[in-house]
Structure 1
Amino acid sequence: MKVILNSDVTNLGEEGDVCTVAPGYARNYLLPKGLVMEFNKQNLAKIEERRSEIEARREQKRKDAAGVKERLEAEPLVVSMTAGINGKLFGSVTNATIAEQLAAQGIEVERKRIDVPEHSLKAVGTYKVRVKLYADEEALLVVQVVASNARELEEKRSRLVGAAAQITPAQDEQEQAGEQADPSDADQESADETSLDPEVIAMQQALEEEAAQQEDADRSSPE
């Protein structure tokens, strides 16, 4: 069924466009809401009478989009999230998250127009996100995801290093006492040294604990 858009309709077009839609969609939704008019000579004439106004509105949309693009690309958007030592977030940054952050800065963008890589960002770092504006206009927004608990993470790393330093002298005494790995198996020796490294052990334990916590956070956080 052919219709004339009476206003902008997402995924269909803009005011004044002629589109073909399913009859049920038109009769049950578009026509009752006044979003479209039936395609006929009378309604075509009505649209043509409004053509200059429609074009003026389109031009204003282009100008508005250019202004939003300039603001989005002027500086990175910084998003603070709780993270673990490995940089993985407790949760994720989605298009809804970015839309909310932009709205707080007075920039209104529909979340469905924000194209987040892999649908969500799950680690600290710098990312490039495409934002669809008007028509073919797009902005490339730089998003910097930072750890809101950075000081706590630094303190945790320092404690782990300190714990490792306290255990190291005992290892030195063992080595001086002549405890050495079997030289016939170099690969096993390397593996044993790594497994005995207290800092590695401490870090592995910390990461395992965080992985469990992050798994719980991921399950409770909507994508």
Structure 2
Amino acid sequence: MKVILNSDVTNLGEEGDICTVAPGYARNFLLPKGLVMEYSERNLASIEERRSEIEARREQKRKDAASVKERLEAEALVISMTAGINGKLFGSVTNATIAEQLAAQGIEVERKRIDVPEHSLKAVGTYKVRVKLYADEEALLVVQVVASNAQELEEKRSRLAGAAGQMKPSKEETPEAAEGSADAPEGDQESDQTSLDPEVIAMQQALEEEAAQEDADRSSPE
């Protein structure tokens, strides 16, 4: 079915364009919403009378898109999310998340125009996100995802590193000691292992189990 666009329609065209669409799409969606009108000589003449106004609006849209592109590419968008000790996020950053953050800065962009790599960002880091603007104009937005609980994570990593350090021998084993250790009965070797500080071992195990649980929580369906 041939129609004339009354306004811009994503993935279809701009105001004043002539398009061919499925009859059902036109009758059930486009026509009831006033987005298009049926193609006819009368309607075509009506559009041509408004052609200068339509072109003026298109020019303004191009200028607006250039302005938005400049703002998007001027600086990185920083988004804070709760993360685990391994840097993976609890939740994810989607195009809706980015659209909300941009709106808070006074930049209005439809979320469907924001192309997030693999549909969502799931770990802290720096990413490049394409934002489709007007016509073929695009902006490359840098998104920095940071951990909102960074201090807590740093403390956990420090405790884990400290626990790992305490579990290592305080001095290098001499060849004689190593030989003696190798010749020692199995029961004596087990005794050496159990002589490590139980609190240190417990701390390391707890932190490792916490990291494993964080991974399990993120991998489960939302």
Pairwise TM-score range, normalised by the shorter structure = 0.7 to 0.9
Matching residue of 1:159: 159
CA offset at residue 218 of structure 1? Answer: 5.0
Amino acid at match of 2:31: L
Matching residue of 2:32: 32
- Whether the 8 Å contact between 2:164 and 2:204 is mirrored in structure 1 is no
Aligned-partner Cα distance in 2 for 1:49–1:143: 44
Q: Check 1:101–1:27 CA distance in 2 against 1; reply closer, same or farther (3 A cut).
A: same
Instruction: Kindly report which structure 2 residues correspond to 1:1-223, keeping only aligned pairs within 5 A, or say none.
Output: 1-169=1-169, 176=177, 178-180=180-182, 206-219=207-220, 221=222
Q: TM-score, normalised by structure 2?
A: 0.82
Q: Check 1:87–1:45 CA distance in 2 against 1; reply closer, same or farther (3 A cut).
A: same
CA offset at residue 135 of structure 1? Answer: 0.3
Aligned-partner Cα distance in 1 for 2:205–2:88: 15
Amino acid at match of 1:99: A
CA offset at residue 43 of structure 1? Answer: 0.5
Q: How many residues align?
A: 207
Amino acid at match of 1:57: R
Aligned-partner Cα distance in 1 for 2:140–2:80: 20
Unaligned runs of 5+ in 1: 182-195
Q: Check 1:118–1:88 CA distance in 2 against 1; reply closer, same or farther (3 A cut).
A: same
Q: TM-score, normalised by structure 1?
A: 0.82
CA offset at residue 8 of structure 1? Answer: 1.3
- Whether the 8 Å contact between 1:85 and 1:207 is mirrored in structure 2 is no
SS in structure 1 opposite 2:122? Answer: strand
CA offset at residue 201 of structure 1? Answer: 10
Unaligned runs of 5+ in 2: 184-195
Aligned-partner Cα distance in 2 for 1:122–1:215: 14
Identity of matched residues, %:
80
CA offset at residue 161 of structure 1? Answer: 2.1
CA offset at residue 219 of structure 1? Answer: 3.7
SS in structure 1 opposite 2:136? Answer: coil
CA offset at residue 216 of structure 1? Answer: 2.3
Amino acid at match of 1:143: V
CA RMSD of aligned residues (A): 3.0
CA offset at residue 39 of structure 1? Answer: 0.6
Q: Check 1:87–1:174 CA distance in 2 against 1; reply closer, same or farther (3 A cut).
A: farther
Q: Check 1:72–1:203 CA distance in 2 against 1; reply closer, same or farther (3 A cut).
A: farther
Aligned-partner Cα distance in 2 for 1:202–1:119: 37
Name the larger-Rg structure: 2
